[in-house]
Amino acid sequence: MSKYIIFDLDDTLLDFQKGEVEGVKKILKTNGVADIHQGFSTYQTINQKVWQQIESGMPRQPLLDTRFSKTLALFDIDANGVKLEAEYREMLNHNFYTLPGATALLDSLKQNDFTLFVGTNGVKKTQFDRLEGSGLLKYFDDYFISEDIGFSKPSTEFFSPIFNKYQQLTRENTFMIGDRLQSDILGANRVGLRSIWYNPNEMENTFDYQPTYTANSYDQIKQILL
């Protein structure tokens, strides 16, 4: 039976998308974008490319500081990307939305004596504030955040501090659980951990690598682990 679980946060336990939509739309509206729907779609395209670059190993903050200025430039709006990123970051720090059922899942796992870790890409203050504000922090024995580590999933270096601190972790007793194939699942594969792809929208896997398991609900995650 598995004993240790490394959990991704955003869109695995915390409802990042809800807070993202609110924050991005507010910035677009404040800066004069008339068609908010088109503006948000444009931002999503640019943001996806930014995160692909970050996950490939490029420096995080300089890339994040461009995503709003690049978006607004396509609407002929000149903006200070660094300033807007800071404003957006402050909004994210107070995004305490959890996905329905997340607390019940963590309760069940703790009752069954699992040791739970956070293993997430992101800014330390943002992720820690959200863990605290959402009430989920109490479930976790430790947390590992990419800004702290200096590497992002799927890099193998992201997992090094976890293995160094908890040398009892093995493929047989540990799972990585997350919603992103490109970071959570690929990262787990690279370091030889079993994985559960949390896929509530039943998306197709178009990549040439596979998770150990796929779960479309928290109940399925519990069935796999228990």
Residue with tokens 């040439």: 208
Is residue 10 annotated as a catalytic residue, yes or no? yes
Instruction: Answer left, alpha or beta for residue 194, where phi above 0 means left and psi between -120 and 50 means alpha.
Output: beta
Q: What is the mean pLDDT of residues 153-171?
A: 96
Mean pLDDT, residues 200-226: 97
Q: What is the pLDDT of residue 57?
A: 87
Tokens 């990549």 locate to: 207
Q: What percent of the chain has pLDDT over 90?
A: 94
Upstream peptide bond of 154 is cis (omega within 30 degrees of 0): yes
Residue-wise pLDDT for 81-116, tens only, equals 999 999 999 998 899 999 999 999 999 999 999 999
pLDDT tens across 111-123, in order? 999 999 999 999 8
What does the pLDDT read at residue 1? 63
* pLDDT of 206 higher than 90: yes
Q: Which residues lie closer than 8 Å to 4 by C-beta, 6 or more apart?
A: 114, 115, 116, 117, 166, 169, 173, 174, 175
- Above 90 in pLDDT, residue 2? no
Q: Which of 10, 11, 129, 184 is catalytic?
A: 10
> Does residue 107 carry a catalytic annotation?
no
Catalytic residue among 8, 15, 129, 184: 8
User: If you average pLDDT over residues 193-197, what whole number do you get?
Assistant: 98
50-80 residue pLDDT tens: 999 988 889 989 999 999 999 999 999 999 9
Residue 176 has pLDDT above 70, yes or no: yes
Which tokens go with 97?
Answer: 């939305």
If you search the block for the tokens 């690929």, which residue do you land on?
186
- pLDDT the model gives residue 38: 98
Query: What pLDDT score does 85 carry?
Result: 96
